[in-house]
Amino acid sequence: MKTWNLDREGIVHEPPLPRQYGTELLVLKEGKGVYLWDVQGNKYLDFGSGIAVNALGYGREDIARIASDQMRRIVHTSNLYTTEPTLTLASKLIASGPFQAVHFGNSGTEANETALKYARLYARRKRGEGHHALLTFSHAFHGRTLGALSVTPTEAYREPFEPLLPGVEVCPYNDVEALKKTVNDRFAGIIVEVVQGEGGLEVMSREFAQALNELRDTFDLVLIADEVQTGLGRTGYLYASEAVGLLPDIITLAKPLAGGLPLSATLIPEKINSLLKVGDHGTTFGGGPVTTAVASYLWDTVSNPDFHKEVREKGEFLEAELESLRKEWSSGALLLSRVRGLGLLRGLEVEVEKGDMGEWMKKILQAARKEGVLVLRSGKNVIRIAPPLVISREEIREGIEKLRRALQSVASQM
């Protein structure tokens, strides 16, 4: 076996993984709370949560115990049968809104595939043929499988795999007039994010949410809120839809749902469930007893209104800290132009005087890692911060200080 080419900073070079992930990856070993350690013993404050997943932090004995207890009982049954953890979680999820059933899957993209299929099925069984168009928005991200990719307009993600699904149209995000001009009876459904997690952290306006609700009612469309990144407390609300008054028919969830284990959910109303026939859709692994037992436990924390209030308050604290960073960097070769996002999903928009934006963003993320804080990127030029939701104010301040030093080190290279 080839030994890995590991350096002192905990980076593996040319790993036996596809090059889509890059040729240098940090090798993490363990975590506790909001901190992570790599295989060389370097410590990091986690401002990324494994891309908005690890809501309750690392090293949780409670979660490990639930998963291992369930693994000793039964790990897998398939969807030819069901289990008590699956039923318990589904019951909790449907009680969170006007839903009648939950389709479980294993990833965000699958949750969205399911939602898109249900939208088409609903249109066809309710209105007949000719109403199959799907609407998505500029800078949206809904996943990497071919259906979800078809409603993800970013050219770089799509181009090698085209042609994708026909019948998809793209409208500018938050543009009410363009939306009203585009939507008509040809459409089966609309898929939309309340905060564009991968596309730059733009937040949906209340007017846009209102227009979406109205168009759904007018044309009997299926309105899908992709809350894969924003759902389950991340924005300081159970669902970000609540923050802007969006009233979706379907909500899709994944990332934090099962405490880091792969599980997704597509929450559907009676109007869709009543049209489904045996065999219309399915999955082998989705909603197994281990992932749902963990998710059911996690749900009791992330669905608690006191928890949401805390996230909102910490989110405002983070926003204020980011604002002060922005003011410090309001001119010069490296400039921070805007703070974006909601709750504990926030971003700092970066502008540079010259050079390649992508290269500078890479340098910022790398400098942050060297200072001991892991941050993410969103869109072309936004530093994304999505810490575990259990982070304290003190830890937020510590992360911001590390980010400040990282920005200073990158600016000094300009």
- Pick the closer one to ligand PLP by CB: 238 or 367: 238
Binding span for ligand PLP by CB under 6 A among 8-16, 137-145, 270-278, 354-362: 137-145
* Contact with ligand PLP (CB under 6 A) among 38, 46, 113, 198: 198
* By the rule CB under 6 A, 141 interacts with ligand PLP: yes
- Cα–Cα distance for residue pair 45/132, rounded to 1 Å: 46
* Contact with ligand PLP (CB under 6 A) among 136, 150, 182, 229: 229
49-78 footprint of ligand PLP as x/- string (CB under 6 A): --x---------------------------
176-195 footprint of ligand PLP as x/- string (CB under 6 A): -----------------x--
- Cα–Cα distance for residue pair 208/176, rounded to 1 Å: 6
- In the chain, the amino acid numbered 48 is G
Binding span for ligand PLP by CB under 6 A among 6-14, 101-109, 205-213, 301-309: 101-109
Please say whether the beta carbons of 342 and 195 come within 8 A: yes
* By the rule CB under 6 A, 321 interacts with ligand PLP: no
Binding span for ligand PLP by CB under 6 A among 61-69, 139-147, 171-179, 344-352: 139-147
- Pick the closer one to ligand PLP by CB: 25 or 333: 25
- In the chain, the amino acid numbered 321 is E
- Pick the closer one to ligand PLP by CB: 44 or 137: 137
Among 267, 308, 271, 288, CA closest to 91? 267
* Contact with ligand PLP (CB under 6 A) among 120, 131, 132, 142: 142
Rounded to a whole number of angstroms, the minimum distance from the CB of residue 279 to ligand PLP is 24
Binding span for ligand PLP by CB under 6 A among 3-11, 126-134, 141-149, 402-410: 141-149
- For residues 201-238, b (16+ Cβ closer than 10 Å) or e, as one string? bbbbeeebbebbeebbeebebbbbbbbbbbbbbbbbbb
* Contact with ligand PLP (CB under 6 A) among 38, 202, 226, 371: 226
- Helix axes of 84-94 and 289-302: crossing angle, nearest 10 degrees: 30
Rounded to a whole number of angstroms, the minimum distance from the CB of residue 330 to ligand PLP is 30
* Contact with ligand PLP (CB under 6 A) among 85, 147, 197, 388: 197
Contacts of 42 (CB under 8 A, 6+ apart): 9, 10, 372
Size of the site for ligand PLP (CB under 6 A): 15
* Contact with ligand PLP (CB under 6 A) among 49, 54, 86, 107: 107
Token pair recorded at residue 26: 């940090």
* By the rule CB under 6 A, 108 interacts with ligand PLP: yes
* Contact with ligand PLP (CB under 6 A) among 254, 302, 367, 368: 254
Token pair recorded at residue 211: 């227009």
- Cα–Cα distance for residue pair 163/224, rounded to 1 Å: 24
Query: At CB < 8 A and 24+ separation, what contacts does 321-326 make?
Result: 321/396, 321/397, 321/400, 322/346, 322/348, 322/385, 322/400, 325/400, 325/403, 325/404, 325/407
* By the rule CB under 6 A, 234 interacts with ligand PLP: no
How far separated are the first and last CA of the chain, in Å rounded? 42
Backbone angles phi, psi at 373, to 5 degrees: -135, 135
**38: which DSSP letter?**
E
Q: Write out the residues near ligand PLP by the rule CB under 6 A.
A: 51, 107-109, 112, 141-143, 193, 197-198, 226, 228-229, 254
